[in-house]
Amino acid sequence: MIRNLGKYMFMLYHIFFKPEKFSVYWRRFLDEVVQLGVKSLFIVSLMSAFMGAVLVIQTATAIESAWIPDYTVGFTIKQSMLLEFCPTIISLILAGKVGSNIASELGTMRVTEQIDALEVMGVNSIGYLVGPKILAALFIFPIVIMYSMFFGFFGGGLVCYFTEIIPVKQYILGIRYFSEDNFVFIRYALTKTIVFAFIITSISSYYGYYLKGGALEVGKASTNAVVYSSIFILFANYILTQLMLI
Amino acid sequence: MIQVKNISKSFSGVEILNDISFVFEKGKTNLIIGKSGSGKSVLTKCIVGLLEPDIGGVFYDDIKFSSLKSHDKKKVRKQIGMLFQGSALFDSLSVEENVAFPLRMFTKMTEDEIFERVNFCLKRVNILNKNSLYPSEISGGMQKRVAIARAISMKPKYLFCDEPNSGLDPVTAIVIDELIQELTKEYEMTTIVITHDMNSVLEIGENILFIDGGVKKWEGSKDEILDVKVKELYDFVYVSKFLQKMKK
């Protein structure tokens, strides 16, 4: 446990070494933005739209009462999506998609001696391989999550439009209700996202970079990356919620 | 010239290398030979600095590499080219980008100059019109040659080849061996080849170190190896019935 923590800290320390050539690292950063963020947009938008749609139906059914105004559904969706569904659930999905991708990529590079090749050349392999991944995730994940929020509301809106479960106008009114608190909620959501982005990329990189063995271990590293990233996301979610919302 | 002095290395109490000393000469193909598990790769990793020897030192010309700080080691490493057993080409980069990688990372060459140097290196290893292909799209022999092109792109003073012809057919293996020897002479490099292939030994072994069980058992050249009296090396050289018949 302490040994693993030490190696993890050692890895993080090496990320901050001066790059051999900034332009090469910049290109790596842009590649990672595409790989980790842009290529996740389809699954994120699909998940978010369906999450929003299902939430609208569930909420509208659960609070069906003459005493509760229809816009409450929109308001509840906003709160759920902003506070929990988009930052946490989408981050857990990204931990599965991006985390396993990072661990298997770095693990394969380790097994096929590509990391050794970088070291022999005199390249800081951690800085070159892991650094751009972490920075790219810190940059792109908040954008992905805002995109997810939009598609979540949009999915809910579509359900209202096609099923008339509540009027669309009421739904939008609910989303805009108490909008003075929105800034606090979005700040909270994005803070969580940045922490989760760091957890996903650093833990997955750790399992891939320090892999020992062959193809079988690449699979194990990939699984470990997803499992531990998810556990630490849930743990960090609780801590941050207690710190920021209470 | 690379010199190793009294190198020992253990893992979890198991001794892998024991008191090995040897001089790898400049402008020659120096071979490290031995059975699988004899410690060849560990010795090479100690020489290039991927592992730290427990005892002893590695000298690049007059510089004691093994006691340099990480920053200074990087300066020496920029003069090293290495061909790995599995080629170790970067999967995500094309043939051209692989060869250009060290040039982009460590030099201030313009893109035109890099392109020119990359094409020169690829032509030198006889790879033509494959620039845009990815490593997975070319054969094992071509991958080795691209890896050699990458290794020589920075005009290194030292070239390491870890089992350069493993997994290759005999004809391609000889082509790779000859290429390594030609490049060694052409660039006056100190080349170290790790192998257990007797064809390579007899083809390019100008200065040979034989290790067995982590201990240096013999040193000499390809001309001396066929008349060797050391039992472990004799068993290694004359393992095939064909060579045994030839000897008789």
Distance CA B218, CA B210 (A): 5
- Binned at pLDDT 50, 70 and 90, residue B16 comes out as very high
DSSP per-residue string spanning B134-202 = -GGGS-HHHHHHHHHHHHHTT--SEEEEESTTTTS-HHHHHHHHHHHHHHHHHHT-EEEEEE--HHHHH
Q: Are strands B14-24 and B2-11 parallel, antiparallel or unpaired?
A: antiparallel
Give pLDDT tens digits for B197-220: 888 888 888 999 999 989 999 998
Contact B65, B58 (CB under 8 A): yes
Q: How far is CA B124 from CA B138, B146, B149, B179, in A?
A: 17, 10, 8, 9
Mean pLDDT across chain A: 92
Residue A45, CB-side half-sphere exposure with 13 Å CA sphere: 10
Contact B224, B60 (CB under 8 A): no
Which residue is associated with the tokens 């590695």? B58
Distance CA A56, CA A190 (A): 23
- pLDDT for A132 equals 95
**Chain A contacts of B146, Cβ < 8 Å?**
none
Please name which of B231, B192, B187 lies closest in space to residue B208, comparing C-alpha atoms.
Answer: B192
- Binned at pLDDT 50, 70 and 90, residue B2 comes out as very high
Q: Is the pLDDT of residue B245 over 80?
A: no
Give pLDDT tens digits for A193-221: 999 999 999 999 999 999 998 889 999 99
Distance CA A179, CA A193 (A): 21
Residue A4 forms part of a structural domain: no
- pLDDT for A156 equals 93
What number of residues does chain A have? 246
Amino acid at A176: R
Contact B100, B106 (CB under 8 A): no
Q: Are strands B55-60 and B63-64 parallel, antiparallel or unpaired?
A: antiparallel
Q: Nearest chain B residue to A113 by CA: give it.
A: B88
What number of residues does chain B have? 248
* Residue B139 structure tokens: 């054969």
- pLDDT for A137 equals 96
Give pLDDT tens digits for B57-69: 999 988 888 888 8
Answer whether B31 touches A (CB < 8 Å).
no
Chain B: give the shortest CA distance to residue A20, in Å.
7
Contact A126, A14 (CB under 8 A): yes
Who's near A32: CB < 8 A, 6+ residues apart? A132, A133, A135, A136, A137
Q: Is the pLDDT of residue A245 over 90?
A: no
CA angle A13, A18, A23 (to 5 degrees): 130
In percent, the amount of chain B with pLDDT more than 70 equals 99
E strand map for chain B: 2-11, 14-24, 29-33, 55-60, 63-64, 80-83, 158-162, 190-195, 207-212, 215-220
Q: Nearest chain A residue to B101 by CA: give it.
A: A24
Answer whether A20 touches B (CB < 8 Å).
yes
Chain A: give the shortest CA distance to residue B72, in Å.
10
CATH code of B1-79+197-248, in short, is: 3.40.50.300
* Residue B86 to residue A113, Cβ atoms within 8 A: yes
Give pLDDT tens digits for B173-196: 888 888 899 989 988 999 999 988
Distance CA B225, CA B19 (A): 22
* Residue B121 structure tokens: 């290196």
Domain, as residue range, for A230: 20-245
- Binned at pLDDT 50, 70 and 90, residue B86 comes out as confident
Q: Specify the number of domains making up chain A.
A: 1
* Residue A237 structure tokens: 């979610």
The residues pairing with B208 across neighbouring beta strands, listed in sequence order, are B31, B220
Which residue is associated with the tokens 């399992």? A207
Domain boundaries, given as residue ranges, for chain B: 1-79+197-248
Give pLDDT tens digits for A2-45: 888 999 999 999 888 888 889 999 999 999 999 999 999 999 99
Q: Is the pLDDT of residue A178 over 80?
A: no
ipTM: 0.85
Q: Is the pLDDT of residue B48 over 80?
A: yes
Q: Is the pLDDT of residue B36 over 90?
A: no
* Residue A184 structure tokens: 């606090």
- Interface A-B, measured as beta-carbon pairs within 8 A, has a size of 55
* Residue B75 to residue A122, Cβ atoms within 8 A: yes
Residue A3 forms part of a structural domain: no
Would you report the helix, strand and coil content of chain A in percent, each value rounded to 5? 85, 0, 15
- pLDDT for A230 equals 96
Answer whether B62 touches A (CB < 8 Å).
no
Question: Is 0.90 topped by the overall pTM?
Answer: no
Distance CA A158, CA A172 (A): 11
Which residue is associated with the tokens 């997803």? A226
**Chain A contacts of B83, Cβ < 8 Å?**
none
Residue A194 forms part of a structural domain: yes
* A8-12, A134-138, A177-181, B81-85, range with the lowest pLDDT: A177-181
